[in-house]
Amino acid sequence: MTVWTTTRYAIDLATPRVMGIVNLTPDSFSDGGRHAGTSAALAHCERLLKDGADILDIGGESTRPGSDPVPVDEELARVLPVLRGALALGVPVSVDTVKPEVMRAALETGADIVNDVNGLRRPGAVEAVAAHPSCGICLMHMQGEPKSMQEHPHYDDVVADVARFLAERVATLAEHGVARERLTLDPGVGFGKTAAHNFELLARQRELLALGVPLLAGWSRKSSLGAVTGRPIGQRLAASVAAALAAALQGASVLRVHDVAETVDALKVWRAAGLLPGGTDRGSDLASQSGR
Protein backbone atom coordinates (compact mmCIF):
# COMPACT_ATOMS: atom_id res chain seq x y z
CA MET A 1 0.00 0.00 0.00
CA THR A 2 1.37 3.38 -1.03
CA VAL A 3 1.00 6.18 1.47
CA TRP A 4 2.25 9.75 1.56
CA THR A 5 3.49 10.40 5.09
CA THR A 6 2.73 13.95 6.24
CA THR A 7 2.69 15.81 9.55
CA ARG A 8 -0.71 14.58 10.76
CA TYR A 9 -1.96 12.22 8.06
CA ALA A 10 -0.79 9.13 6.20
CA ILE A 11 -2.48 9.80 2.87
CA ASP A 12 -3.58 6.59 1.16
CA LEU A 13 -2.55 6.81 -2.50
CA ALA A 14 -4.17 3.53 -3.55
CA THR A 15 -6.42 5.71 -5.72
CA PRO A 16 -5.65 9.18 -7.13
CA ARG A 17 -6.24 12.00 -4.65
CA VAL A 18 -7.45 15.50 -5.40
CA MET A 19 -5.55 18.52 -4.08
CA GLY A 20 -7.71 21.67 -4.18
CA ILE A 21 -5.95 24.95 -4.97
CA VAL A 22 -6.40 27.92 -2.62
CA ASN A 23 -4.66 30.83 -4.31
CA LEU A 24 -4.14 33.76 -1.94
CA THR A 25 -3.32 36.42 -4.50
CA PRO A 26 -4.32 39.99 -3.64
CA ASP A 27 -7.02 39.84 -6.34
CA SER A 28 -8.50 36.50 -5.15
CA PHE A 29 -9.96 37.07 -1.69
CA SER A 30 -8.70 40.38 -0.36
CA ASP A 31 -11.13 43.09 -1.46
CA GLY A 32 -12.29 44.22 1.97
CA GLY A 33 -8.95 43.87 3.71
CA ARG A 34 -6.86 41.16 5.29
CA HIS A 35 -9.43 39.82 7.72
CA ALA A 36 -12.24 39.63 5.17
CA GLY A 37 -9.75 38.02 2.80
CA THR A 38 -8.98 35.29 5.34
CA SER A 39 -12.70 34.56 5.89
CA ALA A 40 -13.37 34.38 2.17
CA ALA A 41 -10.38 32.08 1.66
CA LEU A 42 -11.56 29.77 4.44
CA ALA A 43 -15.07 29.69 2.97
CA HIS A 44 -13.43 28.62 -0.29
CA CYS A 45 -11.53 25.87 1.59
CA GLU A 46 -14.82 24.55 2.99
CA ARG A 47 -16.37 24.63 -0.49
CA LEU A 48 -13.46 22.58 -1.87
CA LEU A 49 -13.90 20.01 0.91
CA LYS A 50 -17.64 19.70 0.23
CA ASP A 51 -16.71 19.17 -3.41
CA GLY A 52 -14.51 16.24 -2.39
CA ALA A 53 -10.97 17.57 -2.08
CA ASP A 54 -8.62 15.24 -0.19
CA ILE A 55 -5.90 17.86 0.39
CA LEU A 56 -5.87 21.70 0.42
CA ASP A 57 -2.93 23.58 -1.14
CA ILE A 58 -2.55 27.14 0.11
CA GLY A 59 -0.32 29.49 -1.88
CA GLY A 60 0.66 33.10 -1.27
CA GLU A 61 1.90 33.52 -4.84
CA SER A 62 5.61 33.35 -4.15
CA THR A 63 6.68 32.05 -7.55
CA ARG A 64 4.47 32.30 -10.58
CA PRO A 65 5.43 32.24 -14.25
CA GLY A 66 6.40 35.78 -15.29
CA SER A 67 6.00 37.20 -11.80
CA ASP A 68 8.20 39.13 -9.41
CA PRO A 69 8.90 37.61 -6.01
CA VAL A 70 6.64 38.54 -3.08
CA PRO A 71 8.44 39.72 0.11
CA VAL A 72 8.57 37.18 2.97
CA ASP A 73 6.50 39.33 5.35
CA GLU A 74 3.76 39.78 2.78
CA GLU A 75 3.66 36.06 1.98
CA LEU A 76 3.50 35.17 5.69
CA ALA A 77 0.68 37.68 6.26
CA ARG A 78 -1.30 36.11 3.42
CA VAL A 79 -0.67 32.46 4.23
CA LEU A 80 -0.52 32.00 8.01
CA PRO A 81 -4.04 33.18 8.97
CA VAL A 82 -5.61 30.94 6.31
CA LEU A 83 -3.34 28.05 7.24
CA ARG A 84 -4.42 28.27 10.91
CA GLY A 85 -8.08 28.06 9.91
CA ALA A 86 -7.57 25.36 7.28
CA LEU A 87 -5.73 23.12 9.76
CA ALA A 88 -9.01 22.78 11.69
CA LEU A 89 -10.95 21.42 8.69
CA GLY A 90 -9.93 17.77 9.03
CA VAL A 91 -7.80 17.25 5.91
CA PRO A 92 -4.09 17.57 5.18
CA VAL A 93 -3.02 21.12 4.34
CA SER A 94 -0.13 21.91 2.04
CA VAL A 95 1.67 25.25 1.70
CA ASP A 96 2.90 26.27 -1.76
CA THR A 97 6.12 28.22 -1.16
CA VAL A 98 9.77 28.39 -2.21
CA LYS A 99 10.95 30.35 0.83
CA PRO A 100 12.64 28.58 3.76
CA GLU A 101 11.32 31.27 6.15
CA VAL A 102 7.75 30.59 5.04
CA MET A 103 8.34 26.82 5.25
CA ARG A 104 9.61 27.10 8.83
CA ALA A 105 6.70 29.31 9.92
CA ALA A 106 4.17 27.07 8.17
CA LEU A 107 5.61 23.92 9.76
CA GLU A 108 5.69 25.64 13.14
CA THR A 109 1.99 26.43 12.66
CA GLY A 110 1.32 22.76 11.88
CA ALA A 111 1.27 22.51 8.07
CA ASP A 112 1.11 18.93 6.81
CA ILE A 113 2.97 19.36 3.52
CA VAL A 114 5.49 21.74 1.93
CA ASN A 115 4.86 22.13 -1.81
CA ASP A 116 7.88 23.79 -3.45
CA VAL A 117 7.81 24.60 -7.18
CA ASN A 118 11.56 25.20 -6.85
CA GLY A 119 12.30 21.67 -5.57
CA LEU A 120 13.80 22.93 -2.27
CA ARG A 121 16.76 24.59 -4.04
CA ARG A 122 16.81 27.83 -2.04
CA PRO A 123 19.56 27.78 0.59
CA GLY A 124 18.03 26.49 3.83
CA ALA A 125 14.96 24.91 2.22
CA VAL A 126 16.14 21.29 2.52
CA GLU A 127 17.20 21.98 6.11
CA ALA A 128 13.79 23.52 6.89
CA VAL A 129 11.90 20.35 5.94
CA ALA A 130 14.60 17.99 7.25
CA ALA A 131 14.34 19.62 10.69
CA HIS A 132 10.71 18.46 10.84
CA PRO A 133 10.21 14.80 11.82
CA SER A 134 7.44 13.91 9.36
CA CYS A 135 6.08 16.67 7.12
CA GLY A 136 5.13 15.72 3.57
CA ILE A 137 6.99 17.31 0.67
CA CYS A 138 6.21 17.89 -3.01
CA LEU A 139 9.33 18.43 -5.12
CA MET A 140 8.60 20.08 -8.46
CA HIS A 141 10.80 20.52 -11.50
CA MET A 142 11.27 24.03 -12.91
CA GLN A 143 13.77 25.13 -15.55
CA GLY A 144 15.07 28.67 -15.09
CA GLU A 145 13.56 31.38 -12.92
CA PRO A 146 9.86 32.33 -12.92
CA LYS A 147 10.44 35.78 -14.40
CA SER A 148 12.06 34.46 -17.59
CA MET A 149 11.54 30.69 -17.73
CA GLN A 150 8.96 30.81 -20.54
CA GLU A 151 11.23 32.80 -22.88
CA HIS A 152 13.34 29.98 -24.37
CA PRO A 153 12.69 26.63 -22.69
CA HIS A 154 15.12 24.03 -24.05
CA TYR A 155 15.73 20.34 -23.36
CA ASP A 156 17.64 17.57 -25.11
CA ASP A 157 15.08 15.09 -23.76
CA VAL A 158 12.54 16.73 -21.48
CA VAL A 159 11.53 13.50 -19.70
CA ALA A 160 15.13 12.42 -19.09
CA ASP A 161 16.09 15.92 -17.91
CA VAL A 162 13.14 16.16 -15.51
CA ALA A 163 13.78 12.61 -14.22
CA ARG A 164 17.48 13.36 -13.63
CA PHE A 165 16.65 16.55 -11.75
CA LEU A 166 14.02 14.89 -9.56
CA ALA A 167 16.29 11.90 -8.82
CA GLU A 168 19.02 14.31 -7.69
CA ARG A 169 16.58 16.12 -5.36
CA VAL A 170 15.38 12.80 -3.87
CA ALA A 171 19.02 11.82 -3.24
CA THR A 172 19.78 15.17 -1.59
CA LEU A 173 16.80 14.78 0.72
CA ALA A 174 17.87 11.22 1.57
CA GLU A 175 21.32 12.58 2.55
CA HIS A 176 19.51 14.91 4.93
CA GLY A 177 17.59 12.02 6.46
CA VAL A 178 14.22 12.65 4.81
CA ALA A 179 12.40 9.35 4.20
CA ARG A 180 11.08 8.66 0.69
CA GLU A 181 7.62 8.03 2.10
CA ARG A 182 7.41 11.77 2.79
CA LEU A 183 7.83 12.72 -0.88
CA THR A 184 5.85 13.24 -4.06
CA LEU A 185 7.43 14.36 -7.34
CA ASP A 186 5.95 16.79 -9.86
CA PRO A 187 7.08 17.29 -13.48
CA GLY A 188 6.12 20.98 -13.20
CA VAL A 189 3.70 21.62 -16.04
CA GLY A 190 4.36 25.08 -17.50
CA PHE A 191 7.44 25.87 -15.43
CA GLY A 192 10.11 26.48 -18.07
CA LYS A 193 8.39 24.27 -20.67
CA THR A 194 6.63 24.72 -23.98
CA ALA A 195 3.24 23.10 -24.64
CA ALA A 196 5.10 20.40 -26.61
CA HIS A 197 7.36 19.72 -23.60
CA ASN A 198 4.36 19.50 -21.26
CA PHE A 199 2.48 17.08 -23.49
CA GLU A 200 5.56 14.92 -23.98
CA LEU A 201 5.84 14.73 -20.18
CA LEU A 202 2.20 13.67 -20.03
CA ALA A 203 2.53 11.08 -22.80
CA ARG A 204 5.65 9.61 -21.17
CA GLN A 205 4.70 10.30 -17.54
CA ARG A 206 4.94 6.60 -16.65
CA GLU A 207 8.71 6.76 -17.16
CA LEU A 208 8.86 9.02 -14.09
CA LEU A 209 7.25 6.29 -11.98
CA ALA A 210 10.60 4.47 -12.19
CA LEU A 211 11.88 7.01 -9.63
CA GLY A 212 9.85 5.01 -7.10
CA VAL A 213 8.10 8.05 -5.59
CA PRO A 214 4.41 8.93 -6.16
CA LEU A 215 3.70 11.64 -8.74
CA LEU A 216 1.69 14.84 -8.35
CA ALA A 217 0.45 16.63 -11.47
CA GLY A 218 -0.87 20.16 -11.92
CA TRP A 219 -2.51 20.84 -15.29
CA SER A 220 -5.43 22.91 -14.03
CA ARG A 221 -6.23 25.87 -16.33
CA LYS A 222 -2.65 26.02 -17.61
CA SER A 223 -1.66 27.74 -20.84
CA SER A 224 -0.77 24.48 -22.62
CA LEU A 225 -4.49 23.66 -22.42
CA GLY A 226 -5.17 27.04 -24.02
CA ALA A 227 -2.62 26.18 -26.70
CA VAL A 228 -4.51 23.07 -27.80
CA THR A 229 -8.08 24.32 -27.30
CA GLY A 230 -7.68 27.99 -28.24
CA ARG A 231 -9.52 28.91 -25.04
CA PRO A 232 -8.75 31.62 -22.46
CA ILE A 233 -8.13 30.70 -18.82
CA GLY A 234 -11.78 31.07 -17.79
CA GLN A 235 -12.91 28.47 -20.35
CA ARG A 236 -10.51 25.62 -19.64
CA LEU A 237 -12.66 23.50 -17.33
CA ALA A 238 -13.23 20.59 -19.72
CA ALA A 239 -9.61 20.70 -20.86
CA SER A 240 -8.42 20.73 -17.23
CA VAL A 241 -10.58 17.75 -16.28
CA ALA A 242 -9.39 15.87 -19.37
CA ALA A 243 -5.75 16.57 -18.51
CA ALA A 244 -6.24 15.54 -14.87
CA LEU A 245 -7.78 12.24 -15.97
CA ALA A 246 -4.96 11.69 -18.45
CA ALA A 247 -2.41 12.31 -15.69
CA ALA A 248 -4.24 9.85 -13.42
CA LEU A 249 -4.35 7.24 -16.18
CA GLN A 250 -0.62 7.75 -16.65
CA GLY A 251 -0.01 6.98 -12.98
CA ALA A 252 -0.27 10.29 -11.10
CA SER A 253 -1.29 9.82 -7.44
CA VAL A 254 -2.25 13.42 -6.66
CA LEU A 255 -4.03 15.87 -8.96
CA ARG A 256 -3.68 19.57 -8.14
CA VAL A 257 -6.83 21.30 -9.42
CA HIS A 258 -9.00 24.39 -9.12
CA ASP A 259 -12.23 22.64 -10.15
CA VAL A 260 -12.53 19.98 -7.49
CA ALA A 261 -16.19 18.93 -7.93
CA GLU A 262 -15.83 18.27 -11.65
CA THR A 263 -12.52 16.45 -11.25
CA VAL A 264 -13.90 14.25 -8.46
CA ASP A 265 -16.93 13.31 -10.60
CA ALA A 266 -14.70 12.46 -13.56
CA LEU A 267 -12.48 10.27 -11.38
CA LYS A 268 -15.55 8.46 -10.01
CA VAL A 269 -16.65 7.58 -13.52
CA TRP A 270 -13.22 6.31 -14.54
CA ARG A 271 -12.92 4.37 -11.30
CA ALA A 272 -16.36 2.78 -11.85
CA ALA A 273 -15.20 1.82 -15.34
CA GLY A 274 -12.13 0.13 -13.90
CA LEU A 275 -9.75 2.57 -15.59
CA LEU A 276 -8.15 3.66 -12.31
CA PRO A 277 -6.94 1.73 -9.29
CA GLY A 278 -9.52 1.25 -6.49
CA GLY A 279 -10.13 3.24 -3.33
CA THR A 280 -13.21 3.12 -1.22
CA ASP A 281 -13.55 5.93 1.35
CA ARG A 282 -14.49 8.88 -0.86
CA GLY A 283 -15.07 6.80 -3.96
CA SER A 284 -18.32 5.42 -5.28
CA ASP A 285 -20.13 2.87 -3.17
CA LEU A 286 -21.85 1.05 -6.00
CA ALA A 287 -23.37 -1.65 -3.81
CA SER A 288 -25.51 0.85 -1.91
CA GLN A 289 -26.77 2.78 -4.91
CA SER A 290 -29.65 2.30 -7.30
CA GLY A 291 -28.99 1.83 -10.97
CA ARG A 292 -29.47 5.46 -11.98
**Catalytic positions, written as ranges:** 222, 256
Q: Smallest gap, in angstroms, from Cβ of residue 140 to ligand 7PM?
A: 5
What are the C-alpha distances in Å from 250 to residues 24, 124, 241, 254, 272? Answer: 30, 33, 14, 12, 17
Nearer to ligand 7PM, 88 or 228 (CB): 228
215 secondary structure, DSSP code:
B
- The residue count for binding ligand 7PM (CB under 6 A) is 15
Identify residue 142 by its one-letter amino acid code: M
Q: Smallest gap, in angstroms, from Cβ of residue 186 to ligand 7PM?
A: 4
Q: Smallest gap, in angstroms, from Cβ of residue 210 to ligand 7PM?
A: 20
d(CA 254, CA 261): 15
41 binding ligand 7PM? (CB under 6 A) = no
218 binding ligand 7PM? (CB under 6 A) = yes
What is the bridge-based pairing of β-strands 17-23 and 55-59?
Answer: parallel
What are the C-alpha distances in Å from 195 to residues 26, 57, 122, 264, 273? Answer: 28, 24, 27, 25, 30
Nearer to ligand 7PM, 7 or 97 (CB): 97
Decide: helix, strand or coil at residue 38: helix
CB 216 within 8 A of CB 184: yes
Over the window 78 to 117, marking each residue x when it contacts ligand 7PM by CB under 6 A and - when it does not, the resulting string is ------------------x------------------x-x
CB 238 within 8 A of CB 2: no
Q: Rounded to 10 degrees, what is the CA torsion of 126, 127, 132, 134?
A: 30
Q: Smallest gap, in angstroms, from Cβ of residue 95 to ligand 7PM?
A: 11
Nearer to ligand 7PM, 201 or 276 (CB): 201
Q: Smallest gap, in angstroms, from Cβ of residue 64 to ligand 7PM?
A: 4
- Applying CB under 6 A, which of residues 42, 158, 216, 247 lies at the interface with ligand 7PM? 216
What is the bridge-based pairing of β-strands 17-23 and 254-257?
Answer: parallel
64 binding ligand 7PM? (CB under 6 A) = yes
d(CA 33, CA 30): 5
Nearer to ligand 7PM, 195 or 284 (CB): 195
What is the bridge-based pairing of β-strands 113-116 and 136-140?
Answer: parallel
Nearer to ligand 7PM, 96 or 286 (CB): 96
Nearer to ligand 7PM, 195 or 268 (CB): 195
For the segment 174-193, give every residue that binds ligand 7PM (CB under 6 A): 186, 188-189
What are the C-alpha distances in Å from 290 to residues 131, 284, 286? Answer: 51, 12, 8
138 binding ligand 7PM? (CB under 6 A) = yes
d(CA 7, CA 109): 11
143 binding ligand 7PM? (CB under 6 A) = no
Q: Which residues bind ligand 7PM (CB under 6 A)?
A: 21, 64-65, 96, 115, 117, 138, 140, 186, 188-189, 216, 218, 222, 256
